């Protein structure tokens, strides 16, 4: 498929400043000879070519990247990932899938379902800290939760070896009984107290710190074959403005939420010395304005990636809410330009269950593509949710939507694993 080339050499052009030529002084007058030869007329100067305009989303040179990140002590590879996600977002974006290496439609394992259809893995792998931090993870080799931890770590390392980007969400179970993260499965007491109980001074604050200790242990030992720590994107407390998770807006004030977010970042970065994380802030699709999006925003110094999850607006197969979804994503994109962040559609998908749900013929190539590109949207990546044994968000060969999905990924803006530049190295000479 035809792809736009990713020209890292353009960074030198984008970020260099034009130098004005020095004024030429007239030479000292010389004594005229009696018979001077006539002067030849000077050739007209070539008109100067206009300087190239700086693309709107470029905000900093590679060497300035750390100054715009949450962690000024981030590893070199993490700095490069942040810069390259920002640079990519000017003209392209990465397409990823949650649990692509271990969740298969029809339980048909092997290659990722994404690769079965497209011949390439997705450009980003989504993982979850849920099983890793579960109360039942004993750390013993015979323990099912520990086995899941080892599988996830192996998947992350495989993705990194393929040049892919790794992103983690966290479905953290409530701290009282550790059974669920959904409020409709919790008692009234749990719903009203779970989030506040993990705040500093709360009854479950040490419990929460123990979970962060586990994340830090994994992150600080996540080493690739090249010997470097693997950078990850971490998206805690996702879809926080809804009420179906115990960290949702119904169960805390905006200031309590901001305080908890800041504590989480400070603890991982400063107390546990984790320097290979980019932090992603991602509400669901409830907001329609900039002020609504920022109501629980903890501050630029605590966020690297501005995201949005959105399922509801893409579900109508007539595309009637795609313009609305695009407007919401435009809020994220505009804020990312203003605040020198990376914008993203951090989670989405429409799940096709054969015999029960059906896709519009142009769902991917028109609906999803227009959502992601209309009105000067600039994002670094988007993530489809995982496939399940009986339903799929990304089609597999022979299933409804396969041709339309292939049309979608044929667009020049889209980057899969096989299309990615080196995401873990900064452009040289800047």
Phi, psi of 58 (to 5 degrees): -70, 130
What pTM did the predictor assign? 0.87
Q: What is the pLDDT of residue 429?
A: 56
| The predicted structure's pLDDT at residue 43 | 46
**CB < 8 Å & 24+ apart, contacts of 289-294:** 289/331, 290/331, 290/334, 290/335, 293/331, 293/332, 293/335, 294/335
The pLDDT score that the predictor gives to residue 112 is 98
d(CA 4, CA 9): 14
Residue 373, Cβ density class (10 Å: 0-12 exposed, 13-18 middle, ≥19 buried): middle
Q: Which of 77, 149, 241, 347 is catalytic?
A: 347
- Per-10-residue mean pLDDT for the chain, 430 residues long? 39 36 35 40 47 52 95 98 97 98 97 98 98 98 98 98 98 97 97 98 98 98 98 98 96 98 98 98 96 98 98 97 98 97 98 96 98 97 98 98 98 98 87
Indicate which residue of 56, 239, 338, 400 is catalytic. Answer: 239
Residue 214 neighbours by CB under 8 Å, 6+ apart: 129, 132, 133, 137
Residue 322 tokens read as 């795609």
Domains and CATH numbers, the chain: 64-419 (3.20.20.80)
What pLDDT is attached to residue 428?
A: 81
**What are the distances in angstroms from CA 323 to CA 95, 293, 328, 373, 409?**
20, 18, 9, 11, 21
Nearest to 338 by CA among 290, 288, 401: 290
Q: How far apart are CA 199 and CA 204, in angstroms?
A: 8
pLDDT recorded at residue 31 = 36
What pLDDT shows up at residue 59?
64
The whole-number pLDDT of residue 22 equals: 36
- Residue 19's pLDDT is 38
Does 347 qualify as catalytic in the annotation? Answer: yes
């Amino acid at each position: 498929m035809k792809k736009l080339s990713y020209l890292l050499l353009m960074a030198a052009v984008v970020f260099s400043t034009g130098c004005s030529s020095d004024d030429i002084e007239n030479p000292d007058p010389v004594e005229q000879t009696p018979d001077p030869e006539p002067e030849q007329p000077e050739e007209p100067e070539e008109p100067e070519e206009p300087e190239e305009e700086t693309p709107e989303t470029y905000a900093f040179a590679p060497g300035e990247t750390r100054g715009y990140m949450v962690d000024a002590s981030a590893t070199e590879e993490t700095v490069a990932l942040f810069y390259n996600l920002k640079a990519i977002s000017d003209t392209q974006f990465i397409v990823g899938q949650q649990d692509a290496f271990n969740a298969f439609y029809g339980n048909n394992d092997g290659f990722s379902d994404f690769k079965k259809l497209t011949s390439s893995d997705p450009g980003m792998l989504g993982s979850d800290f849920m099983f890793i931090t579960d109360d039942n993870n004993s750390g013993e080799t015979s323990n099912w939760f520990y086995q899941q931890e080892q599988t996830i770590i192996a998947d992350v390392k495989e993705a990194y070896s393929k040049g892919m980007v790794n992103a983690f969400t966290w479905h953290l179970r409530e701290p009282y009984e550790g059974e669920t993260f959904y409020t409709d499965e919790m008692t009234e007491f749990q719903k009203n107290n779970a989030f506040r109980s993990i705040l500093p001074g709360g009854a479950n604050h040490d419990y929460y710190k123990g979970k962060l200790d586990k994340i830090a242990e994994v992150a600080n030992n996540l080493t690739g074959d090249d010997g470097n720590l693997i950078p990850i994107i971490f998206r805690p407390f996702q879809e926080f403005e809804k009420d179906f998770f115990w960290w949702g807006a119904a169960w805390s004030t905006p200031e309590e939420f901001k305080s908890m977010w800041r504590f989480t970042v400070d603890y991982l970065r400063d107390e546990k010395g984790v320097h290979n994380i980019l932090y992603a802030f991602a509400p669901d699709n409830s907001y329609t304005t900039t002020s609504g999006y920022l109501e629980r925003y903890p501050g630029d110094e605590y966020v690297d990636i501005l995201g949005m999850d959105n399922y509801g607006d893409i579900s109508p197969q007539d595309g009637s809410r795609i313009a609305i979804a695009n407007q919401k994503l435009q809020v994220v994109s505009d804020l990312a330009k203003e605040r020198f962040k990376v914008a993203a559609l951090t989670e989405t998908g429409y799940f096709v269950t054969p015999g029960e749900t059906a896709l519009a013929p142009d769902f991917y190539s028109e609906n999803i593509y227009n959502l992601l590109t209309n009105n000067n949207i600039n994002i670094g990546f988007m993530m489809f949710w995982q496939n399940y044994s009986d339903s799929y968000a990304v089609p597999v060969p022979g299933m409804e939507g396969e041709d339309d999905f292939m049309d979608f990924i044929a667009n020049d803006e889209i980057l899969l694993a096989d299309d990615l530049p080196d995401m873990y190295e900064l452009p040289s000479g800047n």
